[in-house]
C-alpha cells in the first residue's frame, strides 16, 4: 500500500511539473517577443552649451509596455529634462530608475499606453557643465552608446557639432578619430561607454551661460500695433569675461533696441536677421560666474500675427524658436484699454496661466518652469490664440481725460488768480552745503572695492582647492591669513570713504544705501548656503530640497552682485 501511495504521489508531482513547464516557456517567450532593430543616438549642443541627446528606437515584433533607456551613472547628475514621444503622443517618463539589476547606470523608464508604439523618440537635456572651454577650444564629455537591458541589432551614433566647428577629435575606447558618425551591429546590453569630442569654434555659435530668467512682455495698442520687450537675467559660466551675448528674437521682429539693467541704450546689432539672431554688447563685461540683466525692445507686424477673423496668434511668441535652455520663463500679453477676451485657446498644459483684470484693461500671463524650442517638437501641438472684442472709441479715452484734466487745472488757476493776494513776507532760505567730495575719492573707492571683490573671489577659490585636496592644509592657512589681513585693511579704508559719500548727500548717499542693502543680501545668502550645506551633509535635508534652496539663495546672491556692478559702473561714470 505504501509503495502504491508513493507511486501515485510521484505521478501527481510529475503531472504538475509537466503542466507548469510549457506555461513558463510561453511566458518567457512572451516577455522576449520583441527586439530592438534600430537605435539612432544623436548628440547635439544648444547655443548656451546645454547638451541634447536625441534617441530614436525602432522595435521588431510586439513592443513592450515600458522601456528602459540609460547611460553611465556619472551623467545622471547632469540631466535637466527628459521627454518621450512619437508622431502623435507624449509618453510618461520616470527619472532616475535602476537599469535592470545592474549598478553603475542612470536610467529612465518610459511607460506606453495600451497600444505600445513600434517607434518612438526620447530627448534628454544635460547641463552645460559637461562642456569645457579654453579660449576657442571646446571639449564635450558625453555617452557614446546607449545603455539598455536588451541588445541592439543596429546602433547608429552621430555627434552633431555647430557648422563652424573645426579641428574635430573624438576620443573613445583608448583611440582617437576625427569621425563624428559611428555604427555598431549587435550592441551588447548594459553597454558602459563614454567619450570626449574636442573641437575649435571662432564665432559665437556657442556661449556657455545659464539663462536664469526670460520675461517676454507683449502690448497691443488700439490700432493693433504690437510692441514687445524681452527681459533677460543670465549667468556667465565661461572661464573668461563675456563682452556680448547673442539671443534669438521672434520671427519677423523689427527695430530692436537693447538696454542695460538701468534702462540705458547699449550697442546691439543683427547677426542673422533671417534666423532672428541678435547681438547685444555690454558696456561692462560680465565676469566668469557673475550675472547680469538686460532687455531688448522690438516691434512685430500685425499682418503676420493677426488672422482675418481678428484672432491674435501668440503661438510663435512662446519661445518656440529659442535655441537655448531657459530655466524660468514668463509670457505677458496686455490688451488695449477697453478690450475684453472673448475666446482663449491655450494648450500649454505645462504652464501656469491666468487673466488679470484692472479697471480698463485685461492681461494674460503664462509662467513656464522651462522653455526652449523643444516645446514645439513634442506633441500635442502647442497653441495659444486669443480673440478679443474692442471698441475703437476707446482710442479717444486718454485724450479726453487729458482735456478734462487740463480744463480743471485751468479753471482752478483762474479762480486762484482772481482772489486778492495777501502780502507774503520774504523769507531767505538757508543754504545747505553738502560735504565736498573730490573725484579722486570716488575713483579710489571704486578701485579699492574692486580689489576687495577680487580678494573674496580668491578666498572662495582657495576654499575650493583645499576641499578638493589640491593644496596642503598648512599652505592653505598661510594664504588665507594673508588674504584676510588685506581684506581687513580694505574694509577699514572703504568704511571711511563710505562715510564721506554719505555726508556728500544726493546721488552718492543713495548709492551707498543701495550698496549696503546689496552687501547684506550677499552675506545673508552666504550664511543660508552654509546652513543648508550643513543640514544636507547631516542628512536632515533631502537632495531635492537642498538643490531648490541652493538655487534660490544663489539667485538672490547673483542679483545683489548685479546691483553692486551697476553701482560701481555709475560711480566710474561720475569720475569721467
Q: Are residues 51 and 176 in the same domain?
A: yes
Residue 430 — pLDDT band, cuts 50, 70, 90?
A: very low
Bridge partners (DSSP) listed for residue 209: 236
pLDDT at residue 428 greater than cutoff 80: no
Taking residues 538-549, report their average pLDDT. 78
C-alpha to C-alpha distance for 385 and 318, rounded to whole angstroms: 11
pLDDT at residue 350 greater than cutoff 70: no
Contact 211, 46 (CB under 8 A): no
- What confidence score (pLDDT) does residue 30 get? 41
Q: Are residues 193 and 233 in the same domain?
A: no
Tell me, yes or no, whether 411 lies in a domain. Answer: no
Neighbours of 450 (CB within 10 A): 12
| Residue that finishes a domain, picked among 173, 200, 227 | 200
Percent of the chain with pLDDT over 70: 88
Tell me, yes or no, whether 26 lies in a domain. Answer: no
Q: What is the CATH number of the domain that holds 181?
A: 2.60.40.3650
* pLDDT tens digits, 496-513: 888 888 887 788 888 888
Number of domain units in the chain: 3
- What confidence score (pLDDT) does residue 407 get? 79
- What confidence score (pLDDT) does residue 424 get? 46
Percent of the chain with pLDDT over 90: 46
C-alpha angle 501-502-506 in degrees, rounded to nearest 5: 90
| Closest C-alpha to 220, from 330, 341, 316, 322 | 341
* pLDDT tens digits, 435-452: 566 778 788 888 888 888
More confident call, 344 vs 300: 300
Helix axes 439-467, 473-504, angle to 10 degrees: 160
Tell me, yes or no, whether 402 lies in a domain. Answer: no
C-alpha to C-alpha distance for 387 and 391, rounded to whole angstroms: 14
Q: Residue 284 is part of which domain span?
A: 216-392
- What confidence score (pLDDT) does residue 429 get? 38
CA distance to 241, 300, 516, 523, 553, per residue, from 560 (Å): 19, 34, 10, 10, 11
Q: Are residues 254 and 377 in the same domain?
A: yes
Contact 31, 6 (CB under 8 A): no
**Beta pairing class for 352-357 and 79-85:** unpaired
Contact 397, 403 (CB under 8 A): no
Structure pTM? 0.69
CA dihedral 180, 191, 126, 45 (to 10 degrees): 10
pLDDT at residue 18 greater than cutoff 60: no
Helix (H, G, I), strand (E, B) or coil at 403: helix
User: For residue 379, is the peptide bond before it cis, meaning its omega torsion is within 30 degrees of 0?
Assistant: no
Residue 165 — pLDDT band, cuts 50, 70, 90?
A: very high
What does the DSSP assignment read for 322-378? --S-BSSEEEEEEPPTT-EEEEEEE--TTSEEEEEE-SS-EEEEEEES-BSGGGGTS
Backbone angles phi, psi at 172, to 5 degrees: -150, 140
Residue 329 — pLDDT band, cuts 50, 70, 90?
A: very high
Q: Are residues 167 and 282 in the same domain?
A: no
Residue 425 CB contacts under 8 Å (≥ 6 apart), including other chains: none
pLDDT at residue 187 greater than cutoff 80: yes
Helix (H, G, I), strand (E, B) or coil at 426: coil
C-alpha to C-alpha distance for 224 and 219, rounded to whole angstroms: 9
Tell me, yes or no, whether 28 lies in a domain. Answer: no
* pLDDT tens digits, 381-391: 778 889 888 87
Lowest-pLDDT choice from 124-133, 285-294, 413-422, 551-560: 413-422
Q: Are residues 369 and 514 in the same domain?
A: no
| Closest C-alpha to 57, from 152, 182, 166 | 152
Bridge partners (DSSP) listed for residue 142: 195
Tell me, yes or no, whether 19 lies in a domain. Answer: no
Contact 106, 80 (CB under 8 A): no
Tell me, yes or no, whether 409 lies in a domain. Answer: no
Q: Are residues 179 and 253 in the same domain?
A: no
Contact 149, 110 (CB under 8 A): no
Contact 84, 122 (CB under 8 A): yes
Taking residues 390-396, report their average pLDDT. 70
| Closest C-alpha to 347, from 388, 324, 323, 376 | 376
Q: Are residues 241 and 196 in the same domain?
A: no
C-alpha to C-alpha distance for 51 and 45, rounded to whole angstroms: 5
| Residue that finishes a domain, picked among 146, 168, 200 | 200
pLDDT at residue 380 greater than cutoff 80: no
Tell me, yes or no, whether 266 lies in a domain. Answer: yes
Q: What is the CATH number of the domain that holds 379?
A: 2.60.40.1730
Q: Are residues 173 and 230 in the same domain?
A: no
E-only strand ranges, 358-499: 362-368, 384-389
| Residue that finishes a domain, picked among 143, 171, 200 | 200
Query: Could you tell me what percentage of the chain is helix, strand and coil, using 3-state DSSP and rounding each to the nearest 5?
Result: 35, 35, 30
Q: Are residues 232 and 375 in the same domain?
A: yes
Bridge partners (DSSP) listed for residue 93: 110
C-alpha to C-alpha distance for 432 and 511, rounded to whole angstroms: 20
Residue 19 — pLDDT band, cuts 50, 70, 90?
A: very low
Q: Are residues 177 and 238 in the same domain?
A: no
| Closest C-alpha to 235, from 262, 263, 208 | 208
Q: Are residues 170 and 318 in the same domain?
A: no
Q: Are residues 248 and 176 in the same domain?
A: no
Tell me, yes or no, whether 306 lies in a domain. Answer: yes
pLDDT at residue 21 greater than cutoff 50: no
pLDDT at residue 5 greater than cutoff 60: no
Helix axes 543-574, 506-537, angle to 10 degrees: 160
What does the DSSP assignment read for 287-318? PTT-EEEEEEEEEE-HHHHB-TTSEEE-GGGS
Amino acid at each position: 500500500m505504501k509503495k502504491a501511495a508513493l507511486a501515485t504521489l510521484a505521478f501527481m508531482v510529475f503531472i504538475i511539473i509537466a503542466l507548469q513547464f510549457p506555461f513558463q516557456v510561453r511566458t518567457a517567450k512572451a516577455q522576449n517577443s520583441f527586439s530592438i532593430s534600430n537605435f539612432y543616438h544623436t548628440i547635439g549642443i544648444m547655443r548656451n552649451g546645454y547638451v541634447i541627446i536625441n534617441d530614436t528606437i525602432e522595435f521588431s515584433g510586439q513592443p513592450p509596455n515600458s522601456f528602459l533607456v540609460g547611460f553611465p551613472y556619472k551623467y545622471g547628475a547632469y540631466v535637466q529634462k527628459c521627454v518621450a514621444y512619437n508622431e502623435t503622443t507624449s509618453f510618461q517618463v520616470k527619472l532616475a530608475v535602476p537599469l535592470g539589476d545592474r549598478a553603475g547606470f542612470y536610467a529612465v523608464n518610459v511607460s506606453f499606453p495600451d497600444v505600445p508604439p513600434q517607434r518612438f523618440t526620447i530627448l534628454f537635456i544635460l547641463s552645460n557643465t559637461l562642456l569645457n572651454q579654453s579660449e576657442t577650444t571646446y571639449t564635450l564629455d558625453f555617452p557614446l552608446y546607449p545603455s539598455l537591458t536588451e541588445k541592439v541589432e543596429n546602433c547608429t551614433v552621430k555627434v552633431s557639432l555647430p557648422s563652424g566647428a573645426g579641428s574635430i577629435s573624438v576620443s573613445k575606447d583608448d583611440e582617437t578619430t576625427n569621425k563624428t558618425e559611428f555604427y555598431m551591429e549587435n550592441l551588447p546590453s548594459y553597454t558602459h561607454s563614454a567619450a570626449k569630442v574636442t573641437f575649435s569654434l571662432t564665432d559665437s555659435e556657442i556661449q556657455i551661460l545659464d539663462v536664469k530668467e526670460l520675461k517676454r512682455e507683449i502690448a497691443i495698442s488700439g490700432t493693433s500695433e504690437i510692441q514687445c520687450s524681452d527681459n533677460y537675467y543670465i549667468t556667465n559660466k565661461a572661464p573668461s569675461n563675456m563682452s556680448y551675448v547673442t539671443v534669438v528674437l521672434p520671427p519677423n521682429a523689427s527695430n530692436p533696441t537693447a538696454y542695460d539693467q538701468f534702462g540705458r541704450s547699449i550697442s546691439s546689432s543683427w547677426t542673422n536677421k533671417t534666423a532672428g539672431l541678435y547681438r547685444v554688447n555690454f558696456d561692462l563685461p560680465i565676469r566668469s560666474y557673475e550675472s547680469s540683466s538686460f532687455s531688448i525692445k522690438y516691434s512685430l507686424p500685425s499682418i503676420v500675427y493677426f488672422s482675418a477673423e481678428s484672432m491674435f496668434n501668440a503661438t510663435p511668441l512662446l519661445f518656440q524658436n529659442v535655441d537655448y535652455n531657459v530655466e524660468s520663463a514668463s509670457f505677458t500679453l496686455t490688451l488695449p484699454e477697453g478690450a475684453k477676451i472673448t475666446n482663449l485657446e491655450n494648450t500649454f498644459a505645462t504652464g501656469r496661466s491666468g487673466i488679470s483684470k484692472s479697471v480698463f484693461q485685461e492681461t494674460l500671463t503664462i509662467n513656464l518652469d522651462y522653455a526652449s524650442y523643444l516645446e514645439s517638437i513634442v506633441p500635442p501641438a502647442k497653441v495659444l490664440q486669443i480673440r478679443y472684442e474692442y471698441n475703437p472709441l476707446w482710442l479717444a479715452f486718454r485724450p479726453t481725460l487729458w482735456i478734462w484734466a487740463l480744463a480743471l487745472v485751468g479753471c482752478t488757476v483762474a479762480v486762484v488768480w482772481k482772489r486778492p493776494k495777501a502780502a507774503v513776507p520774504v523769507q531767505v532760505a538757508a543754504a545747505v552745503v553738502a560735504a565736498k567730495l573730490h573725484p579722486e575719492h570716488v575713483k579710489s573707492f571704486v578701485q579699492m572695492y574692486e580689489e576687495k571683490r577680487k580678494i573674496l573671489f580668491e578666498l572662495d577659490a582657495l576654499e575650493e582647492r583645499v576641499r578638493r585636496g589640491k593644496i596642503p592644509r598648512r599652505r592653505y592657512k598661510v594664504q588665507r591669513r594673508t588674504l584676510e589681513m588685506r581684506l581687513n585693511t580694505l574694509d577699514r579704508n572703504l568704511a571711511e570713504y563710505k562715510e564721506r559719500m554719505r555726508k556728500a548727500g544726493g546721488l552718492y548717499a543713495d548709492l551707498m544705501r543701495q550698496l549696503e542693502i546689496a552687501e547684506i543680501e550677499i552675506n545673508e545668502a552666504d550664511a543660508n548656503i552654509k546652513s543648508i550645506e550643513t543640514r544636507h551633509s547631516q542628512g536632515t535635508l533631502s537632495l531635492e530640497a537642498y538643490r531648490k534652496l541652493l538655487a534660490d539663495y544663489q539667485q538672490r546672491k547673483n542679483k545683489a552682485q548685479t546691483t553692486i556692478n551697476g553701482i560701481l559702473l555709475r560711480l566710474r561714470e561720475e569720475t569721467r
